[in-house]
Amino acid sequence: MTMGKLDGRTALVTGGCSGIGRAIADLFAREGARVGIVDLDAARAEATAREVEAHGPAAAGAGADVSDEPAVQAAIARIVERLGPIDILVNNAGIDTTHEVDGMPTDMWDRMVDVHMKGTFLCTREVLPAMKAKGWGRIINISSQLAHKGGRTMAHYCAAKAGIMGFTKSLAYEVAPFGITANTINPGPVDTPLLQALPKEWLAMKKGELPIGRFGRVEEIAPAALLLASEEGSFFVGASLNMNGGDYMI
Ligand code: NAD
């Protein structure tokens, strides 16, 4: 049996049923981690966990809207009960909608901020005590290149993703003394259901802008999460990893 980079670790991936989160869950399992998946639909989370478990030691799913405090607490407790305390948290759950600021419905704004910022805060707060007790932990937050770049009709998304970045940097100060790192991953456009739901004209325009001439694949994002999650990632503190096909070079 070859050694995995995450042998003995327990990871939790929010939004792990689809796209980038699913690819991270699969890669972490292949690298030896027990993987918990929290997603909106409990049955889907459990079914995904069974698939993820096929190439890893163990997996468990639980349903929660990451912006719902009691639901988050219950879901994480359920995962911990089955897999043990969380060593690695990937705050990945996300949504995308488009609207100009002029006329944007307030509930569209609120939902965006709640899922991304409140969800990241709630899940992080829930796992920190056990990480501190162990003296080791990894918080990996999925932001977006659009936090830096901005995006037409996406002010709410860009604000929420920039909020995640500020949160992560401040968190990194707080937790580094406890052997815990906090970092963001800022993907460019990656071919997932979230991206494909955007207007066709936007997708065509975006593809035309990309130096690489194509959208990213989820398998091209997951290795960055593995690096941050692994022992080798220990010197990344409050960092932003940008993989975006050249869409935004910083
Ligand atoms: P996706 O739609 O394929 O997957 C998102 C998952 O999150 C789904 O399984 C969904 O059910 C879940 N989810 C949504 N809202 C939730 C909630 N409130 N509580 C729990 N689970 C919830 O999307 P994806 O493209 O894989 O996106 C994953 C993350 O990557 C998101 O945070 C997204 O903003 C970010 N991102 C995506 C791209 C891209 O181009 N795809 C680029 C930059 C950043």
Task: Give the pairing type, strands 180-187 and 137-142.
Answer: parallel
Measuring CA to CA, which residue among 132, 28, 121, 152 is closest to residue 83?
A: 28
- Kindly state the tokens that stand for 234: 């220990």
- Determine the 3-state secondary structure of 91 from DSSP: strand
Question: For ligand 1, is residue 18 a contact (CB within 6 Å)?
Answer: yes
5 alpha carbon – ligand 1 mean position (Å):
25
| Position 30 confidence tier, pLDDT thresholds 50, 70, 90 | very high
| 157 annotated active-site | yes
> The whole model's pTM is what?
0.98
Strand partners, 124: none
pLDDT digits (tens, 9 = 90+) for 146-189: 999 999 999 999 999 999 999 999 999 999 999 999 999 999 99
- Token readout for 48 is 């995904």
**Paired residues of 139 in beta bridges:** 89, 182
Calculate ∠ Cα 131-40-17, nearest 5°: 75
Q: Output the residue whose Cα is nearest ligand 1's atom 7.
A: 15
Ligand 1 centroid distance, CA of 91 (Å): 10
Residue with tokens 């796209």: 19
Q: Of 11, 79, 156, 157, which one is the catalytic site residue?
A: 157
Q: Is the pLDDT of residue 15 over 90?
A: yes
**For residue range 195-232, what is the model confidence (pLDDT) as tens digits?**
999 889 989 999 999 999 999 999 999 999 999 999 99
